[in-house]
Chains A and B, each alone.
Chain A
Amino acid sequence: MKSDSIVVLGSLHYDIYIQSKSIPKIGETVLADNWFPKLGGKGANQAVALRKEFKNVKFISAIGDDIFSKFLLQKLNEHKVSADYISKIKGDSGVSVAISNEAGDYSAVVVSGVNTKIPEKFLCDSKLWEGVSSLMIQNEISEEINALAAQEAKKRSIKVFLNAAPAKNIENLIKFVDILLVNEIEAQQISNDYSNSFESIAKKLSKKISKVIITLGSKGVIACEKNRTPIHIKGHHVDVKSAHGAGDYFAAKFLLEFLKNNTFENAISVANKKTADFISA
């Protein structure tokens, strides 16, 4: 690896994870078995997954001044993710509830709280970017701060990796992005192409972004590089225990592998296999 650190900018949530036999439908009250608090937010999940295998991760996010902030700092510390770039802001920490069923599917509601107010101060400081190889961002915080970070990274020829989840308009961001990672629903919304032809969606997106990866769950991954033919990497058939956090796990594994060997297709294959193990473990 040429450079030695990765900047992750993104959300940090107190996740309330509920294990239930079924997920309540509208108008329904379901008695569930168990719940536990988890460190969550796509930014935090990706930072933690990177940190497991990689030392220099700078995670930029925010916590509120409430009862959840203590738990969040404690969990980041347990995972050895530094709190140097976590700003404490007056207001509510980000929270989410995920209700999972026995099949491993889940529904979630995220309330961003102070994640929408992550300050710009670190991003404009050149010290942050010293020795940084990549910037990893997602769509759970405001597009403005993402765009500012991406612009700063681009100026310094740092690779910008966007996991555009959840799907939203990324018009102002797209020109700074080197690698785009999306799932099926996000791919359709961003390309405004609701066909199920993901090869052609990948091809279309790769006209604007040099590397595009679309994950298709059990069906594997479609990827496309600018001016190349899309490739399909098949899924691994496993018994899913929980798909919660699978996208974040894939994103981190891909980036690490890609930085290590710089081969696009191989990095996807490795991430694909590791994610299959992760969701069935």
Chain B
Amino acid sequence: MGKRSRSDIVAYVSMVGPALLVYLLIVAYPVLNSVVISFTNFNPIAGTTPEFTGLANYSRMLQDPDFWHAFRNNMVVVGISVFGQIPIGFVLAYILFRKLVRGQAFFQAMVFLPNFLSTIVIGILWRRIFLANGPVSRVLQAVSGDPSAQFTMMLYPETVMIPIGFALIWIYTGFFMIIFLANLQKIDLGLLEAAQIDGATEFQVFFKIIVPMLASVLLINAILAIAGSLKGFDLIFSMTTQGIQRDNAMVLPIFMYQKAFLDRSNSVRFAYGAAISNAIVLISIAIILFANFVGKKLGAQEDI
């Protein structure tokens, strides 16, 4: 466009300013603080002056086998989100958009509905479902004919992510679905009709027209999914009972919470927790950059 005039600059600052101001005040300072603390032995309760300890907190974290366990679990969650929630959300949004079923408003509401309930409630309910003699166990007993059969997937680290993955998909797919739906609204229906008149099947319309048009939204959603997976805490926390279930299903935010808040005997736990939080953010950024890179290769236009 043309050159920028003073009024342009004033307009820009007034557009962007308020958001930036609030954001910097509330988010920037604590985050910087957190970064600084993570290199010290900050102990706010005892009120001692923090001393610089370098990478001590970080190396402690990297040497903790629980960290790696949580990391692996978190990668599973990321996988479920990116390869489960997003494709399913996309397909559902498409179905609604193309009016392939009647009662769209109703079905849309139903898929999105889990977002209304606080995750803690959902966690409590689903936990009950999976416990001894709960509905799932009863179904198992009926199906297998063994009256003492129990649903044990929550007890073993190898299988615990299956029921949790199921719950994750049920809850969060709706979130991505409505984002896809909002963006689908922009597409000119005339274009699709023209394609169909030319003989394209539903599948072809979907893969050859819709997906490329929404490529950048797909990327944004993938990024949101990754970010959400790495900071999501409530659901897994409330779905698992304290002890083996929570340890098996441990993800990084819960790991951070346990180390920073629950481990009361560790006097530098806030500094340690800060280090873990920062590590989580770094990991998130790394994965997102990677996703961005892959996305650009696959054709998404704008990067974030």
Q: Do A and B bind each other?
A: no
The interface of chain A, by Cβ under 8 A from chain B, is none
The interface of chain B, by Cβ under 8 A from chain A, is none
